[in-house]
Amino acid sequence: MAVYQSIKRRLSWRKEITALTYFLMSAIAKMVATIITYPLQLAQAKLRHGPSDLAPNTGTIQLLIYVLKRQGVKGLYKGMEAKLLQTVLTTALMFMTYEKIAAFVFRLMG
C-alpha cells in the first residue's frame, strides 16, 4: 500500500488520473509487494505441503535456509511468475475500479 500511495502522491499534480494510470500504479505496487513477500509465502506452502525430509517442527527461517542451501536464491522465487500473474492483474483491476468509482461518487457529492 505504501508503494501505491507514494506513486499516487507523485501524480497528484495531475487534474485527473486515467484508469490506465491507476491500473499501472496498482500493478507496480502489487508486483513490489509480491516480490518482497514471496519467499515467506513459499515457506508457508512448503511447511504445509513441503519436502518430507524436513523435521516436523521446522520453522520458517529454517525452511528458508534449507531452500537457499539446496536451490539458492532462485529457489526462494520458484513459481513466482504464476503468483504475479494471478495477483497483479486482480489487484490492478480492483484498485482501478475502486479509484474510478470513488472519483465518480466524490464528483456527484460535490
Given a contact cutoff of 8 angstroms between Cβ atoms, the answer to whether 26 and 4 are in contact is yes
Range of the domain at 26: 2-109
Given a contact cutoff of 8 angstroms between Cβ atoms, the answer to whether 79 and 42 are in contact is yes
Total structural domains in the chain? 1
Helix, strand, coil shares of the chain, percent, nearest 5, are 80, 0, 20
Q: What is the mean pLDDT of each run of 10 residues along the chain (110 residues)?
A: 84 83 94 96 88 78 92 95 95 95 91
Helix (H, G, I), strand (E, B) or coil at 44: helix
Quote the pLDDT of residue 51. 66
Per the listing, cell 509480491 goes with 34
In tens, the pLDDT along 51-61 reads 667 777 888 99
Give the amino acid at 35.
I
